[in-house]
Amino acid sequence: MMKQRRGQATLETVLLLPLFMLFLFLFVKIFAMLVLVQKVELASFYAARRWQLESHRNVMYEQSADVALQNDIRERMRDYLGLRNPAGGVVDLMSVDLDISRTQVWQVVTLTVKTRPFKIPFTDSQKAGGFKFETTKYVPNRDRPIAFELPGLKG
């Protein structure tokens, strides 16, 4: 008969459990970053489409409506990406910024998301810096539509 060694399970638990937890932590961080990349792409598509449909080039409406629209889109992006909820803590979101520039033909909608650097114990991980994800969408210009009126029915 083989003689059983006492304490072997305890030794394996003490040595392997922290290593398993470290791998689990890294796997969750990497998976969360992959999900964040996909969410940034979806959020930028939403921002570009909403900007295309609700913004206009007419000078009469540009100042007041565009600032409010841009702020509303930015707030929705922050909520969707998780800047204000506990899910954003997994990827350590630092900032979500939306920049919209008008050109002659296109309106350039740029969504920038920055994360904090990972905090890995016993390493100098603060020097590495966080990640920066940036997506750019080009939206064609669209003038404010003119109300359709049949001639002769104006009253």
Give residue 12's region: left, alpha or beta (phi > 0; psi -120 to 50): alpha
Residue 84 has a pLDDT of 78
Q: Return the bridge partners of 113, or none.
A: 96, 133
Task: Determine phi and psi for 138, rounding to 5 degrees.
Answer: -105, 120
Residue 30 has a pLDDT of 86
Write the pLDDT tens digit of every residue in 107-154.
899 999 998 877 666 666 566 677 899 999 998 876 555 555 666 666
Residue whose entry in the numeric block shows the structure tokens 């992959």: 34
Give CA 124 to chain center in angstroms.
Answer: 26
pLDDT top residue among 104 and 123: 104
For 90, the token pair is 């997994």
Write the pLDDT tens digit of every residue in 41-75.
999 999 999 888 887 655 555 566 678 888 899 99
Mean pLDDT value across residues 70-92: 82
Distance (Å, rounded) from C-alpha 109 to C-alpha 100?
Answer: 5
Helix 8-54 × helix 59-81 angle, to 10°: 170
Residue 109 has a pLDDT of 93
For 88, the token pair is 């954003």
Strands, DSSP E only, in 8-115?
A: 93-102, 106-115
Give CA 53 to chain center in angstroms.
Answer: 21
